[in-house]
Copies of this chain bind each other. A is one copy, B any other.
């Protein structure tokens, strides 16, 4: 059985977006079994006394520059969205529901939601926009509209976030190879080397 690559991502995270465009390729290259996990950073930032990057003095301006440059150097389309960051609970619930119930279409939906926000500037904090994208991916709008308002989906996502924190996840993107933690799009190369070295360093 292949070792697992658990991929944790928040829809308002630029580096999460970049990672989502490349994670399937990374899983293929390394032979790891990919599992997608939408999360929300709010509860994690609360635990750390942290804040979104762009709201931190000095670091904020740099972050905006690094988002754009990191995407450009990796050949990924990127246009800094406004407003930023946004609430992504509707998008995260839709992704969570898709992973549970429409596994084959879930990665396409996740990538489409990210692209809508970070390349096309669409307001995915709006549940209506999320449902438009759901429909564009050939999924049932009414089914998802009902799902993202349902208690099992709300509770399921909440539990996903609690489980992630229990495993040490605190940011986006965050990858666990087995139980080995890697934080950031800039750690993809470490994952490659880690796997190539027999999963030790």
Interface residues of A (CB under 8 A from B): 44, 47-50, 56-59, 61-62, 65-66, 68-70, 72-73, 165, 168, 170-171, 181, 183-184, 186-187, 189-190, 193-194, 197, 201
Contact A48/B44 with A69-B201, A73-B194 known, Cβ cut-off 8 Å: no
Q: Which residues of B contact A56 (CB under 8 A)?
A: 48-50
Residue of B nearest to A193 (CB): B73
Of the listed residues A49, A61, A170, A197, the one surrounded by the most CB atoms of chain B closer than 10 A to its CB is A170
Pick from B44, B68, B171, B201: contact of A201, CB below 8 A: B68
Chain A binding surface SS class:
helix
A64: min CB distance to chain B, Å: 11
Q: Which residues of B contact A59 (CB under 8 A)?
A: 48, 170-171
Q: Which residues of B contact A50 (CB under 8 A)?
A: 56
A107: min CB distance to chain B, Å: 26
Q: Which residues of B contact A170 (CB under 8 A)?
A: 58-59, 62
Cβ-defined contact, B69 with A194, below 8 A: yes
Q: Which 10 A-B pairs have the closest CB atoms?
A: A58-B170, A72-B201, A69-B201, A186-B186, A73-B193, A48-B57, A73-B201, A48-B58, A62-B181, A59-B170
Cβ-defined contact, A62 with B168, below 8 A: yes
